[in-house]
Structure 1
Amino acid sequence: MTKKILKFRKAIILVLVILVTYIGNSIFIAPYNNAVQAIAYYYGSKGNAVGSIQKKLKSWGYYNGSIDNVYGYQTFTAVKYFQSKNGLKVDGVAGDATLKALGINTASNNSSSSQSSGNSQDELLLARLINGEARGEPYEGQVAVGSVVLNRTRDPRFPSSIAGVVYQPGAFTAIVDGQIHANLEQNSINAARDALNGWDPSGGAVYYFNPATATSNWIWSRPLIKVIGKHRFCR
């Protein structure tokens, strides 16, 4: 009788150990399995999304290969080149940050919550550009700089997204000199919000420049709309 009780107890203990192990593993693994996986494309990837990456890179001068929807060596090196020029992690992987900079929407943007997140990212990026380009300018001039970015997204000569406009090669000094990463001021955030809400002090401008620092003769040929602070806003 005693031996049977001992065997029964051992069996119970064994079952409890198995259950604890299973539950423990489930608790540990579940967050990983249920996590939202970041979208990324890398060497060897194929599909229409890769083709979109190639088209963007080609239109901006980073890629000169064919649009074959295959993430080959040329695409890999073009992505690395784009990343190195735009302050991104240089790994040749087109992850969320790189896709955003290219102006390519990820699948997660289809949901309303993701759309809200995307809008917040646009606002932050626009605020950082305003901050880098127009700190110290009159508030109206800061909003006008944001409006130029938005006006470009509606102009077929430019990329159709805020990120695409901001990161277009050579478009803004703040990207080149790193001022886009300067300490963000509240005025810049407010100016971005006002621009996104429809205020356009630039009068529809798609260009602006500071005549005291401009090095391009071509920019002077653009028809002037108005002057705000140190910036001339042009068509």
Structure 2
Amino acid sequence: MYKRYLLLFCICALVATPMTGYAAQARSSFGKGVLKVGATGGDVYELQGRLKFLGYYTGPVDGKFRDRTYRAVRLFQYAFGIDVDGTVGPLTKRRLWEATRVWVPGLENRIYKKGDEGGYVWELQRRLRFIGFYTGKVDGKFQDRTERAVRLFQYEFGLKVDGRVGPETKLKLWKATRYWRPGAKVGPGKVRRAPMTRIKPMSKVPQSNAGLSKQDIRMMAQAVHAEARGESFIGKVAVAAVILNRMESEKFPDTPSAIIFQPMAFTAVADGQIWLEPDKESEKAVHAALNGWDPSGGALYYFNPATATSDWIWSRPQIKRIGQHIFTR
């Protein structure tokens, strides 16, 4: 009888081990404490690394929980249906770990290319399939069909077409598939395209605030309306994206209002048009940019070539032209 009980115990232990290991792995990813602004150390390094892997965080992985990390956490929480409070408690940790299971330190900067195999390639193929670029078998093998899908994605989204998946391509792909979840499928004739490929005003834009106040969002809408009145919807989103890009740059202040009212930064401030009432399309453009659409290609500046006389702005590396504006680095 004793041997029978011992055998039963061993079988139960073997069956339970995988689930126990999985839970232990999830728990060991972060410490037990809640992470919030002001926190430092290893847990914050991991938080930033995982958020950067998904494309939410674009700053340095330095282990310091400051404003940029706070905004990235809030964006993640918004996208994953978690209470948006900017603090990293048990639920946020678990959802983040589940979304980045293949992440290891340094992986956020790895470049994937033909010949690679493994966890991230599975996700790459699934995300590309979700928006209709990949039609092959999801097998975790980066071969010819996967490379062609990557190159097609890069071409359509204005990236360097090299078939390699580096940080810029990963970020763009994540933003284009932010509503993808493991197990999501796209049926025949139901290819999904990302909001970034749309060229007409969206009838309904998710109301993300990306951790910004209503006042800041209102000010952004005023700036977009004043600076891009008469431009296409894409042109308006691009202007909003420039403001957000400056927030992520160490060269500029870290709030929209401070950026907009920097001396000599925006013509609309100098001539008083900043105080015009923004229209609905300008408000939609701001929310589209807050949701991750950046038609400017990461620009920090823009100018109208018909009126610009500054040698300095003409010397900036140009990215693209949208309507009457040239967007530059």
**TM-score of the pair, normalised by structure 2:** 0.36
Larger Rg: 1
**TM-score of the pair, normalised by structure 1:** 0.50
